[in-house]
């Protein structure tokens, strides 16, 4: 992994009646979403960590992640678009 920073992630919820969790850089105080590996019994296990400033606020195993979004040429605009799929009140 050359660049382990992500723009946004979508995490599955515990039950079907709960919405999925969404985290995007620049929204809700999130300053960084980072890929990390933790040692497991047979190999390293990928995790994603969510930070506000330098504080770790959430950590998810790859099994719970249903969407990963990488930075493009305009990361702030892309993060906002991911969090609001219906801009201007549409939808």
Task: Enter the pTM of the model.
Answer: 0.65
Beta bridge mates, 34 = 5, 49
Encoded tokens for 8: 């946004």
Find the mean pLDDT for residues 29-36: 86
pLDDT reported for residue 1: 38
pLDDT at 39: 92
H or E segment and range at residue 76: helix 75-83
Q: Distance between CA 20 and CA 11 in Å, rounded? A: 6
Mean of pLDDT values over 14-31: 78
| Contact between residue 9 and residue 71 where contact means Cβ atoms under 8 Å apart | no
């Amino acid at each position: 992994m050359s660049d382990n920073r992500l723009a946004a992630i979508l995490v599955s919820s515990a039950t079907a009646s709960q919405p999925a969790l969404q985290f995007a850089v620049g929204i809700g105080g999130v300053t960084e979403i980072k890929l990390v590996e933790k040692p497991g019994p047979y190999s390293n296990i990928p995790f994603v960590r969510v930070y506000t400033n330098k504080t770790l606020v959430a950590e998810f195993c790859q099994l719970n992640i249903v969407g990963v979004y990488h930075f493009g040429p305009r990361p702030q605009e892309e993060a906002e678009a991911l969090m609001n799929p219906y801009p201007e009140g549409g939808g």
